[in-house]
Amino acid sequence: MDALANGRDVQLALRGIRKAFPSRGGAVPVLDGLNFDIYERDFVSIIGPSGCGKTTVFNVIAGLLEPDEGTMRFRGEIVPGLSGRVGYMMQKDLLFPWRTVLQNVMLGLEMKGVDARAATETARDYLARFGLSGFENAYPKTLSGGMRQRAALIRTLIMDPDILLLDEPFSALDYQTRLYLEAVLLDAVETFHKTVVLVTHDIDEAVALSKRVVVLGNRPARVKAVHDIALNDRSPIGARSDPRFSEYFNTLCGELDIQTRARAA
């Protein structure tokens, strides 16, 4: 909390990011000069109308796509992308079906070249911490959706990434499991002091989890607005019961031009 109050250090700055994809009728611009900052230990949600290029932003940050124009600075240094520094999590759990839970969780450590014994040790610790001990040797196929996504979260956290990039990680889960995993995520982010960038179409989730919400406009996307979310209780259920929750929710709905008649002002 104190880190937030005084001097918000910029961890990642995006400036003038442009990206177009080639198609039959010429290049289709997707990102049109995107500017925003992500602070240290921030929790930023990126929301926007569907198809606006949220996932493209995500892929640019992850270093999977090269922007046509623009720069990214990580702690002041210009970087091409954050490949190897980010933890990446998607709606699909992306567990490797041929690896056991333990081997899946170890994946990132393996890529970093960590010694196998040490990696196994760490992986077991993490599994125990997140309540998956006993499932080390199970194949993902045998686990429930919630457990698989939990394993995916552990796999993301174990690499100790600078930034967690989450692309609608919980949207395929039922509501209860989702609330539970949101709590697990918030707890883990607090414990390990992580920065999170969450791409979502779910305004409810964005408000409940984030410290800030970046709203993108229609394609080609620019930043339409950035909202600070100041809820006292940031537990998934607590946040949703906060009186200001619906206020934020409505504001963001308005930003996205969602026609619900709720806000006919």
Partner 1 sequence: MAIQSLSQDQAPTAQSPATPAATRRRPGALARAVDTTLGRGLIQILAVAVFFASWEIAVDAGWLTEFLVGAPSGIWRVFVKSVLDGSLVHDTWLTVVEAILGFVIGTVLGSAAGLGLWYSVLVARIVEPFIVAINSVPKIALAPIVILWFGTGFISKVALAVSLTALVALIAAYQAARDADPDLQALLASMGASKNRIFRSVIVPSTLPAIIGMFRINIGFALVGAVVGEFISSQAGLGHLIYNASSLYDLNAVWVGLFVLMFVGFLLYHVIDFAERRILPWRQVDTAGSVQV
C-beta closer to partner 1: residue 112 or 244: 112
Give me the least distance between CB of 55 and partner 1, in Å please: 11
C-beta closer to partner 1: residue 60 or 179: 60
Give me the least distance between CB of 217 and partner 1, in Å please: 26
C-beta closer to partner 1: residue 92 or 244: 92
Which tokens go with 239? Answer: 């946040």
Asked if 63 contacts 139 with a C-beta cutoff of 8 angstroms, the reply is no
Cα distance between residue 102 and residue 119, in whole Å: 10
Give me the least distance between CB of 248 and partner 1, in Å please: 30
Residue 131 DSSP label: T
Give me the least distance between CB of 183 and partner 1, in Å please: 24
C-beta closer to partner 1: residue 141 or 261: 141
Which tokens go with 13? Answer: 């700055």
Which tokens go with 98? Answer: 């041929």
Taking alpha carbons only, the member of 262, 237, 233, 236 closest to residue 249 is 262
Q: Which helix (H) or strand (E) holds 156?
A: helix 145-158
Taking alpha carbons only, the member of 29, 173, 215 closest to residue 89 is 173
C-beta closer to partner 1: residue 62 or 123: 62
Q: How far is CA 203 from CA 126, 164, 235, 254, 255, in A?
A: 30, 19, 16, 11, 11
Give me the least distance between CB of 91 and partner 1, in Å please: 10
Q: Give phi and psi for 243, each to the nearest 5.
A: -60, -30
Residues engaged in binding partner 1 (CB under 8 A) = 59, 62-64, 83-86, 88, 90, 92, 94, 96-99, 107-108, 111-112, 139, 141-142, 159, 165
C-beta closer to partner 1: residue 109 or 184: 109
Give me the least distance between CB of 105 and partner 1, in Å please: 13
Say which amino acid occupies 221.
Answer: A
On the CB side of 264, how many CA atoms lie within 13 Å of its CA? 2
